[in-house]
């Protein structure tokens, strides 16, 4: 008997009774009505002998009819709409093992962003989906829980001058507008993805390539040249890549995340195209998800650290393989800074590793805690048992639980049995309970040193303590060989109460306000907003407004909005900018910023 599904507080489905095993989509994309119309055919497994109904998650879907495999109508009901969970679609299937739902999406489907031609580089319309965490139900009726995995295939019809792609086996050339897809490996619903636009493909490795709009694709192919090496490094660490190809789709700027680990086709923000390959560690992160997250998946969104904490740890191991320990130490230090900030910003209960998101939208959960605290916890375990032993454990873990879901309690039991007990490491040695079910960061957290950052700190001290004219001091700073991570650390290390004349000189010298590196620009604009400097320098205010209007990446725009919202004057300016920018953001980013500025 298969393992029972974990009760998911964010799904109406009852997979322990009848579970979906395969979805066949047949959809037409209509840019004029901003809708997807067609059908979804579900293969069913009756797990409970007396179960005669299948329950699917939906969110503002218009369900025309439901039929059996023979085309005969089946009775169904749509439950009351919940603003977060949507409506349960309950279908009386009897003993049938296949059912077809004929439906259309709403123009307000939260997973789907429809971009007008003026919002794209090519001047043609574009759409993309973002289904994580529980938005797949807004464009596909499904059992929208990460514990439920399905294979899928699809036929998608689009305008003839556009290309369609999915998180599946993809074309590399355009067709007449009809595209077919197959995903033979079972995936949770949040990893089903669709994009349609004016796209071209470039090969970058034997099993990797990049899709992007024509004016972007060459630069993207250059930026991601190390992808094949990353795949090989990951395989050396934790076993074979099991998804066939690993391709990357560069989306327009409104994409709300840095990347989304849709299997076979990572969706990526254009903000990582810095022109110097300095931000491609994001690709290492999304690639790592091919093991931690896509292969072994958190059972519910309370367990998201099992996806993201593992992936940050794995990402930095890939980076170390390719770029060395000194480079990785900078990333670890920056991550530690992010964690310290997150712990200060979040409610104590939201700084546990195992979250409690029942009754809440999982998109409202903490951002950096599962990532950085989870990774730090794994670094602690590594330090206690040794890297070689820990790597053996992780490789066996991915093999044993491949294409399955995992909850926190099951993982901890497995950790104790397979690693800690044989290594003679107790819960008390790790302070395990404090890490998983306690607030903040326990006092046995690993510390990371970085000579590169020590040199930055020396230059910051020279700048802030100098009695020479600031222009003279800036000209003497030893910054010639710095990489982007050092510049981020430099900006973060500047005191918030530093004289605004110094900030003006720093910006004049280094051009932070107009930096094309989103990490540097965000750190600088945060400082400018928090210090009040932005209100004294019209050019900086203009740069800040341009940044918030041009980008839709939730993590970075939210940081700038948060700093603005710290004062009455800043909040008023944030709301003024947001009134213009909000319509260009994906619903994920809108939800994040709505909470910061007090609504649209």
Write out the two tokens for 591: 């939800």
418 and 377 co-located in one domain: yes
Are residue 93 and residue 183 in the same domain, yes or no?
yes
- What confidence score (pLDDT) does residue 173 get? 95
Instruction: Note whether residue 276 is domain-resident.
Output: no
Please tell me whether residues 425 and 471 are part of one structural domain.
no
Whether residue 148 lies inside any domain: the answer is: yes
| Inside any domain, residue 361 | yes
* 422 in the same domain as 519: no
> Please, are residues 353 and 370 in contact by the beta-carbon 8 Å criterion?
yes
Last residue of a domain, one of 156, 187, 218: 187
| Residue 358 φ then ψ, to 5° | -60, 135
Q: What is the pTM of this model?
A: 0.95
**Backbone dihedral region for residue 324 (phi beyond 0: left; psi -120 to 50: alpha; all else: beta):** left
Which SS3 state, helix, strand or coil, does residue 574 take?
helix
Question: Residue 599's pLDDT is what?
Answer: 80
Q: Are residues 351 and 379 in the same domain?
A: yes
| Alpha carbons 563 and 153: distance in angstroms, whole number | 45
Q: State residue 2's pLDDT score.
A: 60
Q: Are residues 469 and 387 in the same domain?
A: no
The pLDDT score that the predictor gives to residue 328 is 97
User: Residue 222 domain-assigned?
Assistant: no
Q: Which residues are catalytic?
A: 286, 371
Element (H, E) at 260: strand 259-260
Cis bond upstream, residue 439 (ω within 30): no
Does residue 477 belong to any structural domain of this protein?
yes
User: Cα–Cα distance between 218 and 239 in angstroms, integer?
Assistant: 31
List the CATH number of the domain containing 156.
Answer: 2.60.40.1730
CA-CA distance, 104 to 76, in Å (whole number)? 16
Residue 157 exposed, middle or buried by CB count within 10 Å (0-12, 13-18, 19+): middle
The total of other beta-carbon atoms located within 10 Å of residue 265's CB is 24
**Nearest residue to 42 (alpha-carbon basis) of 99, 104, 102, 103:** 99
- CA atoms lying within 13 Å on the CB side of residue 83: 5
Residue 387 belongs to domain with CATH number: 1.10.390.10
Is residue 223 included in any domain, yes or no? no
Q: What is the DSSP letter of 74?
A: -
CA distances from 426 to 251, 415, 418 (A): 46, 11, 13
Do 396 and 534 share a structural domain?
Answer: no
Q: Is residue 279 part of a domain?
A: no
Residue 110, token pair as written in the block: 């939260």
Give SS3 for 447.
coil
**Are 174 and 77 found together in one domain?**
yes
Residue 590: which CATH number? 1.25.40.320
- Spatial neighbors of 387 by CB under 8 A, at least 6 apart, are none
- Domain boundary among the residues 408, 436, 464 is at 436
Claim to verify: residue 104 and residue 173 sit in the same structural domain: yes
Q: Are residues 49 and 99 in the same domain?
A: yes
Q: Of 412, 436, 460, at which residue does a domain stop?
A: 436
State how many domains the chain has.
Answer: 3
Domain residue limits at 340 = 317-436
Which residues in the chain show pLDDT less than 50? 1
What H or E segment, with its residue span, contains residue 546?
A: helix 538-550
Q: Looking at the structure, do residues 20 and 167 belong to the same domain, yes or no?
A: yes
Residues 384 and 509 in one domain: no
Going edge to edge, which strands form the sheet with 259-260?
200-205, 208-212, 246-250, 265-268, 259-260
Within-domain flag for 78: yes
């Amino acid at each position: 008997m298969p393992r029972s599904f974990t009760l998911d507080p964010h799904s109406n489905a009852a997979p322990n009774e009848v579970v979906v095993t395969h979805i066949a989509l047949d959809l037409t994309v209509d840019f004029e009505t901003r809708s997807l119309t067609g059908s979804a055919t579900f293969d069913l497994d009756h797990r409970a002998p007396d179960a005669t109904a299948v329950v699917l998650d939906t969110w503002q879907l218009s369900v025309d009819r439901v039929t059996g495999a023979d085309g005969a109508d089946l009775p169904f009901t749509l439950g009351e709409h919940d603003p977060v969970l949507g409506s349960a679609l309950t279908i009386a299937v009897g003993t049938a093992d296949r059912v077809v739902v004929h439906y259309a999406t709403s123009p307000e489907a939260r997973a789907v962003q429809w971009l007008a031609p003026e919002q794209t580089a090519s001047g043609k319309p574009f759409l993309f989906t973002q289904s994580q965490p529980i938005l797949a139900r807004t464009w596909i009726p499904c059992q929208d829980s990460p514990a439920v995995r399905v294979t899928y295939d699809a036929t998608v019809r689009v305008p003839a001058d556009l290309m369609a792609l999915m998180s599946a086996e993809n074309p590399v050339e355009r067709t007449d507008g009809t595209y077919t897809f197959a995903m033979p490996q079972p995936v949770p619903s949040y990893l089903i993805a669709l994009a349609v636009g004016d796209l071209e493909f470039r090969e970058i490795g034997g099993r990797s390539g990049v899709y992007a709009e024509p004016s972007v694709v060459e630069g993207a192919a250059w930026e991601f040249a190390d992808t094949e090496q990353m795949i090989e490094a990951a395989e050396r660490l934790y076993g074979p890549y099991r998804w066939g190809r690993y391709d990357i789709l560069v989306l327009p700027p409104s994409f709300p995340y840095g990347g989304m680990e849709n299997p076979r086709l990572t969706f990526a923000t254009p903000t990582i195209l810095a022109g110097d390959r300095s931000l491609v560690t994001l690709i290492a992160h999304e690639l790592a998800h091919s093991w931690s997250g896509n292969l072994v998946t958190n059972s519910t969104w309370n367990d998201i650290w099992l996806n993201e904490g593992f992936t940050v740890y794995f990402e930095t191991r890939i980076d170390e393989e390719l770029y060395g320990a000194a480079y990785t130490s900078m990333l670890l230090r920056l991550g530690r800074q992010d964690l310290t900030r997150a712990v200060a910003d979040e409610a104590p209960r939201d700084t546990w590793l195992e979250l409690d998101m029942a009754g809440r939208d999982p998109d409202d959960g903490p951002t950096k805690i599962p990532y950085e605290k989870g990774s730090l916890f794994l670094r602690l375990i590594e330090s206690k048992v040794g890297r070689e032993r820990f790597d053996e454990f992780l490789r066996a873990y991915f093999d044993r639980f491949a294409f399955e879901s995992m909850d926190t309690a099951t993982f901890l039991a497995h950790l104790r049995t397979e690693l800690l007990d044989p290594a003679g490491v107790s819960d008390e040695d790790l302070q395990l309970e404090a890490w998983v079910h306690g607030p903040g960061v326990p006092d046995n957290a690993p510390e990371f040193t970085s000579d590169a950052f020590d040199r930055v700190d020396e230059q910051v001290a020279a700048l802030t303590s100098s009695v020479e004219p600031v222009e003279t001091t800036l000209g003497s700073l030893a910054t010639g060989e710095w990489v982007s991570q050092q510049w981020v650390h430099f900006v973060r290390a500047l005191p918030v109460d530093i004289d605004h004349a110094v900030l003006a000189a720093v910006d004049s010298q280094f051009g932070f306000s107009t930096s094309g590196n989103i990490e540097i620009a965000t750190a600088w604009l945060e400082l400018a907003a928090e210090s009040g400097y932005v209100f004294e320098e019209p050019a900086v205010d203009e740069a800040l407004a341009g940044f918030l209007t041009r980008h839709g990446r939730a993590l970075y725009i939210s940081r700038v909005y948060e700093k603005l919202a710290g004062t009455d004057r800043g909040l008023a300016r944030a709301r003024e900018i947001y009134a213009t920018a909000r319509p260009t953001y994906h619903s994920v980013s809108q939800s994040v910023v709505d909470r910061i500025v007090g609504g649209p």
